[in-house]
Structure 1
């Protein structure tokens, strides 16, 4: 008898799921791991906890700790699997190294996307099956049914990003006794199913949640996920058969077999609908630090509640990112490190590229007068950081000291010692929290935020009808909040020129949030961006200051890597599963 390809999880195991940080709000409840199916769903508290546990994995795909080594001492996320950052302990074998080096294949590919998503989809099906007997009132049953169906659609959307079309199992609850023959549904069928589930949930749920229910699925979240799914569905990777073009067996499974320009309009309309809710806005703070343009871009990530988060990943007071991305002297360790190419991507504060002779860029002072998002996203030599217990900032010492007889690292944080690139990720790190000292942040992590919706709208509209006034307004709103002065774009941009602008804004605004990995794939440009030699920056001080780029890693990419391979054990369990093209 064949073993099931879809992950099977027991009630007890589901109830034992926990997050890496203490839960709060609706996730902050005692978890009992010794319950059977009857006691789980016959008790309202246990049943609600079962649903809440399905939320736990909601941010796993973009988690900066997604990939780990066998000892669990080094972590990397999708930023280390693309051209954003170098992963930690790069000599180890883990998921991000496989993508960086082009060595990923069905035998070694991380299987978390397949297993986690189908485990949670099965949990949703269990919950919906037992919902009639759960002692909830009618209104609550209607609400939680919609939440569950949102979560099911969410996990299918993650599967589609990774693999294209996947098996749709409906409301079926497989067990180990089942003889399961699963086949992949077409990409079109998957898109239609997810959209229908999201529409159903959106019709029931409130636009937003507040108080203790903050973080639950809402109408706004349903609509934002719909806009994201339609954006992917309109993108080149998922049209004209994608990477399986010409393959009669796979072309309709991994992508639409045809190309319909109207798909861009559908994506634009879906993003416009989120904007029209008037429930969200870009977070701007021009008063807390009036001398620091774009400060809201940094502050929003330190706030538990803000006007921009549509779907947050809930967690209790924590040092989650400070322990990962901050410099070693402040207790950070084990995370990823930005490449110099990411530094160079940020323009000057006047919006001009550093390669533009009119930009004012000074190679001897390369960090001055840059796009404020640069300073809020990346720590470099001489980044000013406040020392705990004082209000006096001091510069990070990441340079090589060449004043003596031999060059030595200036500190444990320095290039070649604390960082392999000479840089650290600052994005979303709370500047007032130090991991190896007292203090925590109430921060939660963004899964969907309004800036993404605005960028999705701009991209889809530009592809559908060109650079309209609304496209200009959307991108300029992002640039204005970022602190660029002037923030206005040149008039008369062509569709292609605006496409370049939009893609650049996505790279900067959404850096280190798990978007770049997918964007370069859905645009079909990863064979260019991921086949590059990546660099770091060595700063030397002695007789003057010298900035010297150096090679960190040559990234390699094959066309097979536009989609993830289905893990080989899953293919072995169900030969009916067709493997993705070129693997």
Structure 2
């Protein structure tokens, strides 16, 4: 994967001039040059990797009930408070995804003519893998395009985006109508299936006896030839396993309430696609024991080149950085405190016995609200008088504090909610300009926990809390395992979960809450609220002010940010400029 950026540079060097000629000639190389230059050809494919839509920072979370930003110029803050329009959309995927799809279509239209090797068998293996990558990447890019721009029209049709499977040229018809949402889903699934057929499940060096039968029949008998194409050095690129996970994501979206009336994808389909991925790690028994803290020091430092944590299906490259910490550490640790978790999210964490804090059986004490809580609360959020940073500094956020960590003390630095972000960051980073200590980070593009929660959601809808549809585990089994891993309900056999396992509606709320907690600050919440079509999208973001007037802490909930989403915003817009240019491009209702 580290070579992909280098390949991209080669693509950028398409044009050059030779000053030996008078006048100088332009050496604009055509696509046919790729046929005998595999590096050039891979450079075209590399663009689709560079344009992948994943982010390692919690951008969209500040537009949900999970967080706010203390940066008044934040575009997601503007969006959430009433300034979201079809020509001002920080969530737009239109240009980036379509650019990537154009590169992929160019590659697919020419890949069969590339001489990857003079050995025909090795050439076939290269061609299979690289075509598989292109189909898989097109499925990813199309999924994010559909996620951001699919929606209902004024006349009640659920539309997706124009499907493009051929490269566009100067003579192409650009005034294309949108395909239906279902047609887009069908195209994504078709691309995914094609990719799964062509790609290895995983990349890795193998022995002679492990050569896949389809290549044995072509005469491959030396594992070295196979490893040259699909060995360890390819780790990080898209694989069959990754594409199976993307297929499950697409099915979950399609079966969800905001889309289900316009598709033929069922909850059972979504559960089965997720189970395909999970069965490969033996279902619930394969849930990574430390999967909830995949980002911490001990989980990152020991990863070999290209290797994955047991929690990770697909990740970005590991790199030295300090950006997350500089942006989100409290000001006393030389951070900007940008992402402020809300009281809404804090209240979603149960007590350690597994009961919601609204249940009398939880033992929740409003006068001591952070005691005996779900351990994930302390792992993901900095609460008043907890520790953070390389020297484990105590962060006083209450109004009795003496520095800018105090709630609303300094605009653009202090928290607005009474909380700071902990998840995703490394405590051994030090933004102090005297040290500026960077550490290793990576973006988790797809996690197993996400797929477990997708299965639990779909299985509960399809077969009820304890039904399994023929699989070896149910929604109940998944949620029990995730909560056990988190350290809640251990002393009482998770009595709350046991009390709701016969109630599909209550189990639905529990599954959604577990998804909220496990995937917080990973840019999932906004899309989940929209596909569930629930009222939380417009919920006022709240915080907690903590005073100490006479030696005792007084906790006072406060309203922080009024959200202003309209009903039609459960589906995003087609960019206004595109609607203005193309008469056949129909806008989603309300925009």
TM range (shorter): 0.7 to 0.9
> Which of these residues, 284, 287, 290, is aligned with residue 289 of structure 2?
284
Residues 411-452 of structure 1 show CA distances to partners (whole Å, capped at 9, x for unaligned) of 122211321212112111112222333543332111110001
Q: CA deviation at 1:81?
A: 1.4
* TM-score in terms of structure 2 length: 0.80
Question: Tell me, what secondary structure is at the counterpart of 1:209?
Answer: coil
Going from structure 1 to structure 2, the CA distance change for 1:154 and 1:30 (only over 3 Å counts) comes to closer
Q: How do residues 60-99 of structure 1 correspond to structure 2 at under 5 angstroms?
A: 60=54, 62-64=55-57, 77-90=59-72, 92=73, 95-99=75-79
Question: Tell me, what secondary structure is at the counterpart of 1:422?
Answer: coil
Q: Identify unmatched segments of 5+ residues in structure 2.
A: 15-28, 117-122, 151-158, 205-231, 468-473
Cα distance in 1 between the residues matched to 2:134 and 2:337: 35
> Which of these residues, 476, 500, 513, is aligned with residue 509 of structure 2?
500
Cα distance in 2 between the residues matched to 1:120 and 1:398: 44
> Which of these residues, 452, 455, 462, is aligned with residue 454 of structure 1?
452
Partner of 2:126: 140
Q: How do residues 541-552 of structure 1 correspond to structure 2 at under 5 angstroms?
A: 541=548, 543-544=550-551, 545-552=553-560
8 A Cα contact 1:79 1:514, kept in partner: yes
Q: How do residues 487-566 of structure 1 correspond to structure 2 at under 5 angstroms?
A: 488=494, 489-491=497-499, 492-525=501-534, 528-541=535-548, 543-544=550-551, 545-566=553-574
Task: Kindly indicate which of the two structures has a greater share of residues assigned to helix.
Answer: 2
Q: Does 1:204 align with 2:204?
A: no
Partner of 1:11: none
Partner of 2:110: 130
Alignment length, in residue pairs? 509
Q: CA deviation at 1:561?
A: 0.3
Superposition CA RMSD, Å: 2.5
Cα distance in 2 between the residues matched to 1:194 and 1:296: 29
Question: Tell me, what secondary structure is at the counterpart of 1:400?
Answer: coil
Going from structure 1 to structure 2, the CA distance change for 1:300 and 1:356 (only over 3 Å counts) comes to farther
Q: How do residues 50-61 of structure 1 correspond to structure 2 at under 5 angstroms?
A: 50-60=44-54
Q: How do residues 361-380 of structure 1 correspond to structure 2 at under 5 angstroms?
A: 361-380=364-383
Cα distance in 2 between the residues matched to 1:37 and 1:355: 65
Partner of 2:419: 423
Cα distance in 2 between the residues matched to 1:277 and 1:140: 25
Residues 335-354 of structure 1 show CA distances to partners (whole Å, capped at 9, x for unaligned) of 32111111111111111112
> Which of these residues, 206, 209, 234, is aligned with residue 213 of structure 1?
234
Cα distance in 1 between the residues matched to 2:365 and 2:383: 16
Q: Does 1:234 align with 2:234?
A: no
Question: Tell me, what secondary structure is at the counterpart of 2:200?
Answer: coil
Q: CA deviation at 1:34?
A: 2.2
Partner of 2:18: none
8 A Cα contact 1:297 1:376, kept in partner: no
Cα distance in 1 between the residues matched to 2:87 and 2:402: 43
Q: Does 1:114 align with 2:94?
A: yes
Partner of 1:477: 481
8 A Cα contact 1:54 1:151, kept in partner: yes
Question: Tell me, what secondary structure is at the counterpart of 1:311?
Answer: strand
8 A Cα contact 2:7 2:40, kept in partner: no
8 A Cα contact 1:532 1:554, kept in partner: yes
Partner of 1:251: none
